[in-house]
Amino acid sequence: MDLSVIIPVYNEAANVLVLYQRLLQAIQPIGIRYELLFVNDGSTDQSLAIIKELAARDITVRYIDFTRNFGQQIAISAGLDKAMGQAIAILDGDLQDPPELIPELYARYQQGHPVVYARRRTRVGESATKLATARLFYRLLTRITHVSIPVDAGDFRIINRKVTDTLKQMPERQKFIRGQISWIGFPQTFLEYDRPERNQGRSGYSYSKMIRLALDGITSYSNLPLKMATVSGFVVSGIAFLVMLYTLYSRFISRDYVPGWSSLMMSILFLGGVQLIAIGIIGEYISRLSENVRNRPLYIINETNIPEESG
Ligand code: UDP
Ligand code: MG
């Protein structure tokens, strides 16, 4: 098997057929052995039925059906676990990652690049908030992490077998695939493309899912927020110490103290706020820690047409 294409699918019934046809048109001319691996991430629409219909007619179509919605990153991870190709392509099921780019990505892979990702030159049809938050997130991430995670790139890419096998050995539950790939450290190269609008349907990424992904990315690759909590603790304590000196001075030496209701309220509220933020940051890390300690399976498969021993 030369190429496995992993496609996470969450309520993409209106896109699966078009995607399949465009994938065939793009990949068949390369003349390689390939598989199309659809991971149905708990869709509530007809996505699975359509995929199974394709699988019944075309042996290159394989699928994994999750018992519920586990999230895109976990769906990709399941695909990586089962993929049999020497090269593995990852792309969204909504045609925002154009299949027509695969031959070019594959050609680069064949030149010996372990990771070829597709970078978004422009993005159309997405809300201003989404663009702004995405932009901010990518920039923040590169600033505060030690690994250099490519800016303005999603998971659309081709990786080789070695990268895939290494990824499969990474046990953490907070999957942030593009971060993991950068952490592993093989050289990466990229192509640029103009990211189109989603073909049909609605985005499966709610704001809560986006925030979760962002926090997973940050907490998995940076301890800076924890350090910031500590530093702000020191700064606030320093200020508190100065205020204390001043209080003692006015109480015992200048003796011109007044009932300081407003300053009291301000310092209590400020300190309370800082403490809650710090506890919240610690909480984000601890919740991820405990998730990893529980050691539950990453995903549960309902059904699949992939034989047990493969992958
Ligand atoms: N997706 C998924 N599980 C989810 C949400 C999304 O597998 O919980 C898939 C979705 O079907 C698509 C890809 O992940 O193939 C990207 O999602 P989407 O297009 O909804 O995100 P956006 O492009 O709006 O960020
Ligand atoms: Mg999309």
The pLDDT tens digits for 90-140 are 999 999 999 999 999 999 999 999 999 999 999 988 889 999 999 999 999
Cα angle value 78/118/99 (rounded, 5°): 70
Residue 97's SS3 state is coil
C-alpha closest to that of 8 among 35, 38, 34, 36: 38
Residues facing residue 9 across a β-bridge: 40
Q: Are strands 153-160 and 87-90 parallel, antiparallel or unpaired?
A: antiparallel
List of long-range contacts for 141-145, beta carbons under 8 Å, 24+ apart? 141/179, 141/217, 141/218, 141/221, 141/222, 144/218, 144/222, 144/224, 144/225, 145/179, 145/218, 145/221, 145/222, 145/224
What residues flank ligand 1, with Cβ below 6 Å?
8-10, 12, 41, 69, 71-72, 75, 92-94, 96, 198, 203-205
Which ranges of the chain have pLDDT less than 50? Answer: none
pLDDT of residue 310: 61
Atom of ligand 1 nearest to the CA of 41: 7
pLDDT of residue 198: 94
For residue 158, the surrounding DSSP H or E stretch is: strand 153-160
ipTM reported for the complex, 2 dp: 0.98
pLDDT of residue 311: 57
| Phi, psi for 236 (deg, rounded to 5) | -65, -40
Specify the fold of 3-204+298-304.
Spore Coat Polysaccharide Biosynthesis Protein SpsA; Chain A (3.90.550)
